[in-house]
């Protein structure tokens, strides 16, 4: 049966939503999760292309390069499996308060693309792959920056805390992680020196290789300190600190809707480490009396904005079924509100949801979707997060109740 099925066979009519019961009966759990993570186009949506490897659904060169490196290039697949995730190191590198050339240098370190002797010998660019200082065979990036006696001496005289017994790891990534997370070590007083020290060790190696100029370990540390202080001083002059106003910011509070109108606050609960998401909404009248509230749990979507969009769609359908004609729907995502109201380009990933929302809004001229900050939307936020507290997981698990 499964071999002859089409995607449309897994959807209900006429709304073209997933047939949850059928999918649960036919597919194993891991396949179910992948199916439910895809949002169908709905009854009123148009088929469209979307790129799953970027949050908006648009294709970008950067995301295409990532797919090429991590998915398509199967010859390196085993390497990626055995190698720990480097996302944390990449993020730290680009957030460093350092010269852009330092960012690029460290990025090349992590990618092992620096012209170390071993890297140059591999494509036969160089005949000798040994270290110019200690003659060790196979001069790697890790050897230059950490394992070479010269590098070990530089780290020893620097204010950076050394590893236990002074022994550096054979893993470049482990060593980089250690020195770039010195802020977690109270004994270290100059953790911000690390990128500049790495840069100086590499630069001194090139000076010694090409010019025969050698620098002592203490002078290398002193020069790295000078580079860092010069950069910090330059940034202070170019970007003087602006003192913020001392007055307290007034937090937004929930505001009652106009006479004879209903206000429906909606929100979504999403976390990258959770396998489920949730949406919640609460409706109140002009006197602030709570009327109805709902919470719904489902499989985790790709981003919080997708969850919020699903929450708006469900809240609109629910209030419509309950017979309310004049409703203001509040969400705390300004960009989503702009997309719904036609003031921003719709993301391909959100297009099916927003098309259905806009169709319902066109049939109900007294329905409005507006932005309001989370401070005034905390009730819906707390309701949505009930999916984590009570593990409301199933797509069919919907709690809808009248409160007052």
Per-residue pLDDT of the chain (404 residues; tens, 9 = 90+): 566 778 878 888 765 678 888 888 888 888 887 787 777 766 666 677 788 777 788 888 888 877 777 776 644 444 444 445 677 788 888 888 888 999 999 999 888 889 898 888 877 777 788 898 898 888 899 999 999 999 999 998 888 877 877 789 888 888 888 888 875 554 444 668 899 999 999 999 999 989 989 999 999 999 999 999 888 888 776 666 555 555 555 667 889 999 999 999 999 888 777 767 888 999 999 999 989 988 888 776 778 898 899 999 999 999 999 999 999 999 999 999 999 999 999 988 888 889 989 999 999 999 999 999 888 888 888 888 887 766 544 443 445 556 55
Residues 283 and 317 in one domain: yes
Residues 212 and 316 in one domain: no
Q: Has residue 49 been placed in a domain?
A: no
Burial class (CB in 10 A: 0-12, 13-18, 19+), 231: middle
Residues 91 and 230 in one domain: yes
Q: Has residue 153 been placed in a domain?
A: yes
CA 118 to chain centre: 35
Separation of alpha carbons 373 and 258, rounded Å: 19
Q: Has residue 94 been placed in a domain?
A: yes
Residues 289 and 325 in one domain: yes
Residue 317: which of 296, 338, 341 has the closest Cα? 296
Q: Has residue 64 been placed in a domain?
A: no
User: What are the backbone dihedrals phi and psi of residue 156, each rounded to the nearest 5 degrees, phi first?
Assistant: -65, -35
Separation of alpha carbons 194 and 218, rounded Å: 15
What's the total number of domains in the chain?
Answer: 3
Q: Has residue 68 been placed in a domain?
A: no
Locate 139 and state its tokens. Answer: 């001069």
Partners of 280 in the beta sheet?
267, 295
pLDDT for the residue 220: 93
Residues 268 and 138 in one domain: no
In sequence order, what are the residues at sequence separation of 6 or more whose Cβ sits closer than 8 angstroms to the Cβ of residue 331? 266, 267, 308, 311, 312, 337, 369, 370, 371, 372, 377
Residues 91 and 232 in one domain: yes
pLDDT for the residue 349: 85
The CATH number of residue 300's host domain is 3.30.420.10
* Residue 271, domain extent: 262-402
Residues 179 and 99 in one domain: yes
Residues 275 and 200 in one domain: no
Separation of alpha carbons 194 and 179, rounded Å: 7
Q: Has residue 186 been placed in a domain?
A: yes
Q: Has residue 348 been placed in a domain?
A: yes
Residues 231 and 307 in one domain: no
Residue 224: which of 190, 183, 189 has the closest Cα? 190
Residues 267 and 231 in one domain: no
Residues 32 and 139 in one domain: no
Q: Has residue 62 been placed in a domain?
A: no
Helix (H) or strand (E) holding 384: helix 378-384
Residues 279 and 150 in one domain: no
270 in Cβ contact with 240 (< 8 Å): no
Residue 219: which of 197, 234, 202 has the closest Cα? 197
């Amino acid at each position: 049966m499964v071999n002859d099925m089409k995607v449309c066979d897994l959807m209900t009519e006429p709304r073209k939503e997933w047939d949850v019961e059928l999918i649960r009966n036919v597919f194993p759990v891991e396949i179910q999760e992948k199916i439910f993570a895809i949002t169908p186009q709905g009854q009123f949506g148009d088929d469209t292309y979307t790129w799953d490897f970027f949050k908006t659904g648009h294709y970008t060169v950067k995301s295409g390069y990532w797919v090429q490196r991590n998915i398509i290039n199967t010859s390196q697949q085993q390497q990626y499996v055995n190698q720990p995730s480097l996302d944390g190191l990449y993020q730290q590198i680009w957030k460093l308060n350092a010269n852009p050339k330092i960012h690029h240098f460290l990025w090349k370190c992590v990618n092992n693309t620096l012209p170390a002797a071993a890297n140059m010998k591999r494509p036969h660019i160089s005949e000798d792959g040994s270290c110019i200082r200690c003659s060790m065979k196979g001069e790697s990036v890790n050897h230059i920056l950490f394992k070479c006696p010269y590098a070990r001496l530089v780290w020893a005289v620097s204010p950076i805390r050394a590893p236990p017994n002074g022994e550096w790891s054979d893993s470049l990534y482990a060593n980089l992680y250690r020195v770039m997370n010195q802020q977690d070590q109270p004994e270290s007083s100059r953790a911000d020196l690390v990128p500049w020290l790495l840069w100086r060790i590499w630069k001194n190696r090139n000076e010694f290789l090409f010019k025969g100029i050698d620098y002592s370990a203490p002078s290398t540390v002193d020069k790295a300190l000078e580079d860092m202080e010069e950069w910090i001083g330059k940034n202070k002059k170019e970007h003087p600190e602006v003192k913020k106003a001392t007055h307290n910011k007034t937090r937004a509070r929930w505001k009652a809707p106009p006479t004879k109108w209903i206000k429906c606050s909606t929100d979504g609960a999403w976390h990258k480490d959770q396998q489920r998401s949730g949406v919640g909404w609460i409706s109140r009248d002009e006197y602030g009396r709570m009327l109805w509230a709902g919470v719904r749990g489902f499989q985790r979507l790709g981003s919080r904005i997708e969850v919020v969009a699903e929450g708006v769609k469900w809240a609109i359908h629910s209030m419509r079924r309950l017979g309310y004609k004049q409703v203001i729907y509040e969400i705390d995502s300004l960009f989503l509100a702009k997309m719904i109201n036609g003031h921003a380009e719709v993301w391909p990933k959100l297009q099916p949801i927003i098309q259905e929302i806009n169709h319902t809004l066109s049939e109900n001229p007294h329905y409005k979707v507006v932005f309001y900050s989370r401070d005034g939307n905390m009730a819906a936020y707390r309701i949505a997060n009930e999916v984590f507290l009570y593990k409301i997981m199933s797509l069919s698990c919907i709690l809808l109740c009248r409160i007052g």
